[in-house]
Structure 1
Amino acid sequence: MAAGGGAEGVFLAYHEPDIINILTLISFFLFLALSEWLTDKIFRAGLIGQIIVGLIYGVPLADILEINWQETFLALGYVGLLLIIFEGGLTIRLDLLRQNFLLSIVAALLGVLTPIALSFALLYAGFGHAPLEAFIVGTALCSTSLGTTFVVINSASTDTDYSQTRIGTVLISAAVLDDVCGLVLVSVIHQLRGIAEDGDMKLGWIIGRPILASGLLAILTPLIAKFVAGPLFRRFLEKPLANFKHVSNILLMTVVLCAFLAIAAFAGASMLFGAFLAGAFLSSLPSKEKGPAGLRDHDLERTETTPFVGTFEHYLSGPQKFILQPLFFASIGFAIPFVELWTGEVIWKGVVFTILMVFSKLVVGLVVPAWDVISAATSARSAPPANEKMSARKAAAAGWAPATLLGTAMVARGEIGLLIIQIGLNETPFLTRKAFVIGVWAIVLNTIIGPVSVGVLLKKAGSQIASDKTWGIKSKPQETDVESVILSDQTGPDPTSPGGGREESRGGT
């Protein structure tokens, strides 16, 4: 499209788009929607169809879309990915996140170290590739696709929100930590050429900068939210902004999200991590208290702010679900070197490596029975009646479904894996084309196997996971406590309940 100009300045000349281009775009979005519906019916993972459409319309196969359109859709798809993760931060249970942070760290470390170790075992010791090749490919496979994780969990059931379960919280936080570790390692990969050419480069700062930036963001964000931003928001902004409802919320959400993205990017952390922290930061700002009983409806509407999640649903859920999210998964298809995958040696090596990489994430699920065994053993020692506690064996057996969900949901590598391995190929001299294609085989197949497995599992045992006493959906004790205390202060103990209203409030938590 040509630019026009004259004495008054330069502008973009407007003209009617070509009918071929218009029909191409319409067909692209139509097939994205149809493929999502079809593969969701077959595999319970609609993203697979969108990746396939990206393969066909993009450079790897038919190259139907113009290259500048593909680049635009890749950027829009990344915005969709940021919104997916931002929504995850808005909806995650912060109380469960705090309670299970140690467990999430253990799961994340297992999910990072196992793929790298097995990559060295197969590529270096088995297939004879160089150690740096094994490290680069293992780093690409140690990540977990945050976007895929959120999409699969959110679309698994219309009746159950698995992000509100304990195992869902552990899964999301472990996936976030995996990608933080992947960012640290990709910073090393990004600088490998410079390290090879210039021995004086400060390797410690290259490795330490993303660690320091991510750690400071993770520590300072909740502290600022709890002691500074939260109290100021509730005191000065909450009631005035409540009058504007969604309008004030969307402006605040945009400012906070952009601020976190900029801080994370310039500090050396991941923008994906920044998007997640932005959502979690916003979710901690509003008051959690419910209004006392007997408050009139119009008074209650004046005192309660519109939740940020409701604003997200109001303004962003439609564009995200039907435009940005499909473009994100299609952009993954744009980046797959499909033709190069189909040579004899690469196929069998890629399949073997895929199986190994599936196993490397499935083992993360072992933290669930291990945690159950430790908890059961601790409870058995501290509790008086042994017959009221499950044995360690029963505790481990009861947690098979949550453990399988944790392992299978972390299998998908997706966008992060493709990004890392392409940096290794294009920006370092160490990764050969053969090792690159073997790694891509594993990334692509894992991104398919993971969502399909999660869909089948949740179809068979979704209700069992949601209702599990240890790993299922947990009530929100803070809101219940505040309301119960207000009621008991106003009306006194309920004579019909054993122990009175305050005792019932304690029991309900």
Structure 2
Amino acid sequence: MAAAAAAAASSMPYHEPDIVTILVQTSFLLLLNLVNAALDRLVYCGLLGQVLIGIAWGTPGAKWLPSSAEELVVQLGYLGLILLVYEGGLSTSFTSLKANLLLSSAVAITGIGMPIALSFFLQELLDATSLQVFAAGAALCSTSLGTTFTVLRSSGLASTRLGVVLSSAAMMDDVVGLVMVEVISNLGGGSIGPLTVVRPILVSLAFAIVVPLTCHFLVSPLTLVLNRYREAHAASRLSSFLRHRHTILMNHTLLLIALVTGSTYAGTSNLFAAYIAGAMVSWWDTELPHPAFAVAVATEAETVDEKTNRANAAPSGGCIRDPNGPPTLEDEADILEVNPTGAMDTGIEEESSTSGTTIFEHYYYQPLARILQPFFFASIGFSIPITHMFNGQIVWRGFVYAILMTLAKLVCGLWLVRFSVAPAKEAVRGVWSMLKIPNLPHLWGRTTATTGSSNSNTHSGGQANAQSSLVGDPRANKTQLQSPAPPKPFSLQPPLMLALAMVSRGEIGFLISSVAESRGVFASPGSNSNAESDIFLVVTWAIVLCTIVGPLGVGLCVRRVKALEERKNSEQEGAGRDVLGVWGVR
């Protein structure tokens, strides 16, 4: 029997899926994309529709998907989350990141501390212990990376200063959140060793410090040495192999896999490692020089010239084509034979065609956008116990706690508020002009002639200044050449967009609350161990509502900003103040 069972388990028999399974899975995948496209077009938050489809098709709703299919969707969806975070690293601007590191840290600290502090209201709402309050606040201190990067990509703000501050702050929040997972997983046992808390923090810091040092002291010198060899041997097989798209794809993929695997075994967030992998590729593309392959370009140009000269010769009748005349079909065919794309290869085109962003869009974007990302947000819907959440006491407490957790993250937007002193100066100047004593020449010894002479001097001085500006006064030229300071936004849209994006929780929040529930941290003494605890359901309400409010609010803000930009461009021909101001600088 044992031998027969072993033989039977050596392979899985192939069975054709029945029509019901085909229809359910087809409708699931199609609706995930249709709802996403419709909501993205309206309010830039199609991910909410994907979460709702996950609730309806999964275990919380109709249970049309079997458990095995849900597990597969969760696993593929997490691959999509890793790629989303990796894409966020690819869009990182290192100039903006270094310039806004302190600001991002302040936003992250605020986004961690405020939810934990306001969670102590649960002691009054649910008669919770301090340990349960801390676990609830830890679940709500994280920010959904998948939601953040999806909203930034759909709104086109990923590479702006606002996007850099938001993505780096959300990354810091999630690193702390994953440290909380390790802490809370040991709370049920009643003992927490110092290694449990310190190890994830130290490993995260090691990745954040060791990887940049490795790039600076190892990757950069090796790249420069390799560049010199490639420039000296542009036609070699090694040079051709290194600039091939498939080689770049393999290098980027291996780097991502290596960092994600190493971070997991080291005890820190694999999402943090995915972000670092994308940032490394972006750094290599933008901060290091790359060969232009001038020799290869010259060779191809000569080849095109030779083919053109041959085409100008008479084939048999002795007619010579005008070299300045329009190209013939034979000329175009010869040129396309040299370069099938119809464009001459240059160093810039070669570099852009193998950049990290181009490789990602060419190979990863379509499966991520159509399959993996929808699966990730649908898997969030699988985790929402919707049937047990509609109890009167649970609902109103969940709404109260969700409001508190929304306010806790909205505070983060205050770091981006920039108060301009120009209106105050104008107001003071206006009041002073009304209180100022008028000019009385007969009292102060001034005469009309004096005034006139001063006016004439002023006028002549203005002419002199005009002439000096026409001639080319060096001081005037220096002033004109100085770049103006980035404009201040004329609205509170940037702080509001940052705050609403930080409101969105998601995968890490559900993970922390689920770990706390499974370890018995949320359980009350004498409660039924098979039923969800009230604290867990209230925390789930807060996570769900924040996950809905955050992306929806950001989508409405983005829609408003785009409408203001279009109105500015149409009415003022693009000369008005920028809606996002300094926060929209790329």
Conserved 8 A contact 1:58-1:65: yes
Match of 1:500 in 2: none
The unaligned stretches of length 5 or more in structure 2 are 231-237, 299-343, 425-478, 525-532, 566-576
Distance 1:15 1:364, change over 3 A: same
Question: How far apart are the structure 2 equivalents of 1:363 and 1:429?
Answer: 28
Question: How far apart are the structure 2 equivalents of 1:55 and 1:437?
Answer: 16
Question: How far apart are the structure 2 equivalents of 1:224 and 1:291?
Answer: 22
Match of 2:398 in 1: 350
Deviates further, 28-37 or 137-146: 28-37
Find out whether 1:451 has 2:551 as its counterpart. Answer: yes
Identical counterparts, % of pairs: 39
**Alpha-carbon distance, 1:132 to partner:** 1.3
Distance 1:344 1:468, change over 3 A: closer
Distance 1:241 1:437, change over 3 A: farther
3-state SS in 1 of match to 2:584: coil
Question: How far apart are the structure 2 equivalents of 1:466 and 1:266?
Answer: 46
Give 1:478-497 correspondences, 5 Å limit: none
Deviations 1:277-320 (A, max 9, x none): 1111122123644888x986545269636101101101110000
The letter of the residue matching 1:215 is L
Match of 2:58 in 1: 58
Match of 1:150 in 2: 149
**Alpha-carbon distance, 1:425 to partner:** 0.2
Find out whether 1:406 has 2:498 as its counterpart. Answer: yes
3-state SS in 2 of match to 1:64: coil
Question: How far apart are the structure 2 equivalents of 1:249 and 1:327?
Answer: 27
The letter of the residue matching 1:441 is W
The letter of the residue matching 2:415 is V
**Alpha-carbon distance, 1:44 to partner:** 2.9
Question: How far apart are the structure 2 equivalents of 1:466 and 1:150?
Answer: 23
Match of 2:584 in 1: 472
3-state SS in 2 of match to 1:471: helix
Which structure's relative contact order is higher, taking Cα pairs within 8 Å and 6+ residues apart?
2
**Alpha-carbon distance, 1:241 to partner:** 6.1
Question: How far apart are the structure 1 equivalents of 2:582 and 2:159?
Answer: 13
Question: How far apart are the structure 2 equivalents of 1:57 and 1:174?
Answer: 33
Question: How far apart are the structure 2 equivalents of 1:371 and 1:190?
Answer: 44
Deviations 1:4-23 (A, max 9, x none): 98989922222322222112
Question: How far apart are the structure 2 equivalents of 1:284 and 1:43?
Answer: 33
Match of 1:501 in 2: none
Question: How far apart are the structure 2 equivalents of 1:437 and 1:230?
Answer: 51
Question: How far apart are the structure 2 equivalents of 1:409 and 1:7?
Answer: 54
Match of 1:165 in 2: 160
Conserved 8 A contact 2:490-2:581: no
Conserved 8 A contact 1:230-1:284: no
Match of 1:382 in 2: none
Question: How far apart are the structure 1 equivalents of 2:153 and 2:412?
Answer: 21
Question: How far apart are the structure 2 equivalents of 1:405 and 1:241?
Answer: 46
The letter of the residue matching 2:283 is S
Match of 2:252 in 1: 253
Match of 2:185 in 1: 190
Match of 1:231 in 2: 221
Deviations 1:144-171 (A, max 9, x none): 0000000011112xxxx31221111000
Conserved 8 A contact 2:125-2:397: no
**Alpha-carbon distance, 1:368 to partner:** 1.0
Conserved 8 A contact 1:362-1:411: yes
**Alpha-carbon distance, 1:428 to partner:** 3.2
Match of 2:389 in 1: 341
Conserved 8 A contact 2:490-2:578: no
3-state SS in 1 of match to 2:63: coil
The unaligned stretches of length 5 or more in structure 1 are 377-384, 475-509
3-state SS in 2 of match to 1:13: coil
The letter of the residue matching 1:363 is V
Match of 2:347 in 1: 300
3-state SS in 1 of match to 2:118: helix
Deviates further, 122-131 or 107-116: 122-131
Q: How many residues align?
A: 446
**Alpha-carbon distance, 1:35 to partner:** 2.0
Deviates further, 305-314 or 460-469: 460-469
Distance 1:14 1:4, change over 3 A: farther
Conserved 8 A contact 1:118-1:356: yes
Give 1:325-474 correspondences, 5 Å limit: 325-369=373-417, 398=490, 400-431=492-523, 433-462=533-562, 468-474=580-586
Question: How far apart are the structure 2 equivalents of 1:139 and 1:22?
Answer: 40
Find out whether 1:211 has 2:201 as its counterpart. Answer: yes
TM-score (norm 2): 0.71
Conserved 8 A contact 2:561-2:579: no
Question: How far apart are the structure 2 equivalents of 1:181 and 1:372?
Answer: 34
Distance 1:434 1:308, change over 3 A: same
RMSD over aligned Cα, in angstroms? Answer: 3.1
Give 1:53-202 correspondences, 5 Å limit: 53-120=53-120, 122-156=121-155, 161-194=156-189, 196=190, 199=191, 202=193
Deviations 1:321-349 (A, max 9, x none): 00000000000000000011101011111
Find out whether 1:274 has 2:273 as its counterpart. Answer: yes
**Alpha-carbon distance, 1:468 to partner:** 3.8
Question: How far apart are the structure 1 equivalents of 2:130 and 2:103?
Answer: 31
Question: How far apart are the structure 2 equivalents of 1:277 and 1:290?
Answer: 21
The letter of the residue matching 1:228 is L
**Alpha-carbon distance, 1:79 to partner:** 0.2
Conserved 8 A contact 2:139-2:513: yes
Match of 1:480 in 2: none
Question: How far apart are the structure 1 equivalents of 2:556 and 2:7?
Answer: 65
Distance 1:44 1:52, change over 3 A: same
Q: Larger Cα Rg: Structure 1 or Structure 2?
A: 2
Distance 1:466 1:22, change over 3 A: farther
3-state SS in 2 of match to 1:413: coil
Conserved 8 A contact 1:89-1:277: yes
Distance 1:61 1:299, change over 3 A: closer
**Alpha-carbon distance, 1:92 to partner:** 1.0
Question: How far apart are the structure 2 equivalents of 1:272 and 1:282?
Answer: 16
Conserved 8 A contact 1:210-1:268: yes
Deviations 1:226-280 (A, max 9, x none): 2212332343279546645320111111111111111111111111111101111
Question: How far apart are the structure 2 equivalents of 1:41 and 1:444?
Answer: 23
Distance 1:9 1:333, change over 3 A: closer
Question: How far apart are the structure 2 equivalents of 1:302 and 1:45?
Answer: 34
Conserved 8 A contact 1:190-1:428: no
TM-score (norm 1): 0.81
Deviations 1:442-484 (A, max 9, x none): 101111111110011011124669764422223xxxxxxxxxx
**Alpha-carbon distance, 1:41 to partner:** 4.3
